[in-house]
C-alpha cells in the first residue's frame, strides 16, 4: 500500500518511514501542507496507484494541519489519520468534522498506529461496497425531524442536509434501524469499524459526540453507562 506521510520533522519522518517500510508500505514523505496537497493530485505520480492512507501531522510549518485536511477532502477521498499531540476532545471532534477518518495522539505505540492504518484501510475498502450498517436496503428512516436515506447515504434534519463522514453515517444508520435498542460498544465497533480492537472505543466516543453536535440534537443518542448507546426517537 502506498502511504503519504505528512510530517515536518525529518528525524520523526525517517524513523516512522523505516517502520512502515518494514511492514510493506511504500511511503512518500511530504514536509508541509503544500507538498501534501500536490502529492495527492492524479498527475503527481504517473503510473503509481493512489495512496491508501494519509498520515497527517497537525503542526506543519506553512499551514495548520486542520486546513490541510479540509483541502485534502476536496481533492481526494483517501482516508486521513491525524497524528498529533492535541489530545483534547474538542480537537478530536474538530478533526473528525473536517473529514479525518481517525485521530491518533502522540506519543503513540508504533503497533497501535499500524493497527489503526490497517483498520482504516479495511473500513474504506468495505465502504466501497453497500454499507453493512445500512444493510444495502432501499429504506428511508424517519425519526421525527431526522431523515436517514440509506441508499444515498444522506441525512437531513427538518429538510436541511447534514454532511456526515462515512463512519458517522454508518454509526447513525446502525442505531436508527433499531430505535430504543441498546447497542453494546463492542457490537458497534464490530459492525461499524469492522474490528474488535479495544483502542477504537475512544474513536467511538468522539464520533458519537460529533453526531450529536452536527445533528443539533444531543438527546438523540443516549449513553447507557457501562453498556453502550441507543437512539431515542424524537416524539415530534
Residue-wise pLDDT for 163-213, tens only, equals: 999 889 999 999 998 888 888 888 888 778 766 555 566 788 999 999 999
Which tens digit of pLDDT belongs to each residue from 24-49? 899 999 999 999 999 999 888 888 88
Tell me: pLDDT of 108 over 90.
no
**3 state SS for 64-133:** CHHHHHHHHHHHCCCCEEEEECCCCHHHHHHHHHCCCCEEEECCCCHHHHHHHHHHHHHHHHHHCCCCCC
| Per-residue exposure over 134-165, b if at least 16 CB sit within 10 Å of its own CB, e if not | beeeeeebebebbbbbbeebebebeeeebebb
Q: Which domains does the chain have, with CATH numbers?
A: 2-127 (3.40.50.2300), 140-231 (1.10.10.10)
pLDDT higher than 60, residue 128: no
Instruction: Please write the tens of the pLDDT for every residue from 177-187.
Output: 888 888 888 88
pLDDT score, position 88:
85
Residue 232's closest CA among 203, 207, 212? 212
What is the reported pTM? 0.59
Helix or strand run (H / E) with residue 6: strand 2-6
% of the chain residues with pLDDT over 70: 89
- Give the cell for residue 116: 489503526
In the predicted model, what is the mean pLDDT of residues 128-136?
Answer: 41
Average pLDDT score over residue span 114-124? 80
Residue 87's CB: how many other CB atoms inside 10 A?
12
Whole-number percent of the chain with pLDDT over 90: 45
Distance CA 54, CA 121 (A): 10
Amino acid at each position: 500500500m502506498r502511504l503519504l506521510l505528512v510530517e515536518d520533522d525529518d528525524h520523526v519522518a525517517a524513523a516512522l518511514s523505516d517502520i512502515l517500510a518494514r511492514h510493506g508500505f511504500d511511503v512518500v514523505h511530504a514536509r508541509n501542507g503544500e507538498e501534501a496537497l500536490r502529492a495527492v493530485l492524479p498527475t503527481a505520480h504517473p503510473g503509481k496507484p493512489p495512496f491508501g492512507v494519509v498520515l497527517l501531522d497537525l503542526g506543519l510549518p506553512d499551514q495548520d494541519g486542520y486546513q490541510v485536511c479540509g483541502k485534502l477532502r476536496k481533492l481526494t477521498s483517501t482516508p486521513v489519520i491525524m497524528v498529533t499531540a492535541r489530545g483534547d476532545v474538542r480537537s478530536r471532534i474538530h478533526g473528525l468534522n473536517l473529514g479525518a477518518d481517525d485521530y491518533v495522539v502522540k506519543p503513540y505505540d508504533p503497533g497501535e498506529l499500524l493497527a489503526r492504518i490497517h483498520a482504516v484501510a479495511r473500513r474504506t475498502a468495505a465502504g466501497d461496497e453497500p454499507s453493512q450498517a445500512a444493510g444495502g436496503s432501499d429504506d428511508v428512516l424517519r425519526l421525527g425531524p431526522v431523515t436517514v436515506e440509506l441508499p444515498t447515504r444522506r441525512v437531513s434534519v427538518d429538510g436541511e442536509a447534514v454532511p456526515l463522514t462515512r463512519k458517522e453515517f454508518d454509526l447513525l444508520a446502525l442505531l436508527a434501524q433499531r430505535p430504543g435498542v441498546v447497542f453494546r460498544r463492542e457490537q458497534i465497533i464490530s459492525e461499524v469499524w469492522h474490528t474488535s480492537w479495544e483502542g477504537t472505543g475512544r474513536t467511538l466516543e468522539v464520533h458519537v459526540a460529533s453526531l450529536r453536535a452536527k445533528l443539533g440534537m444531543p438527546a438523540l443518542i443516549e449513553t447507557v453507562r457501562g453498556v453502550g448507546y441507543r437512539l431515542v426517537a424524537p416524539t415530534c
